[in-house]
Amino acid sequence: MVPTLRELDMGNIVLSFNQFKDMIRLFASSATLSALHLSTIELGPEIFVFTSHTLPHLHLFTVRYQYLKITLSPESQDHSASGRTRPPTGQFIQAMKAHSFADWGLEHLRIKPLVFWPWTSCRHAIAEAFPNVKTFNGASRKEYLSENYLDHI
């Protein structure tokens, strides 16, 4: 690791959760890394839990994702492909509501889907989970939560 690295953008490589954790662990002892941009296959609270514990001094975090993480019940496992064709926003919202990142010093959060799906219903759950974040996708908290906000999430 480079001891003076302040910002790293690895967003052009889509990582599995295990690869994501390995990448984050590389910078666990970094006191200078303040901005990180990564992409992952599935976005779920685990991404934020792991990152907040491993990189508590991070100020800007960008996470791009292919899918919202879904938890399939045993009876729905035969239909696993259907979760990929429509966004599982309800499950994501419930999972995010179970977490709070109020102790994380993160100030700017960018969440971007790699595939366009209008998942605007997740914005409130994300904003509630991160009460100290000042900007979401470059917009103020108020703008991000407004009805007129046109970004993807």
Per-residue b or e along 45-77, where b marks 16 or more CB atoms closer than 10 Å to that residue's CB: bbbbeebbebbeebbbbbbbbebbbbeeeeeee
pLDDT for residue 36 is more than 70: yes
pLDDT for residue 78 is more than 90: no
Highest mean pLDDT among 2-11, 58-67, 81-90, 118-127: 58-67
- Percent of the chain clearing pLDDT 70 (strictly above): 80
Domain 7-71+84-145 sits in CATH 3.30.700: no
Domain regions of the chain by residue span: 7-71+84-145
Q: What are the pLDDT digits (tens) for 93-133?
A: 888 889 999 999 999 999 988 877 665 668 888 888 999 99
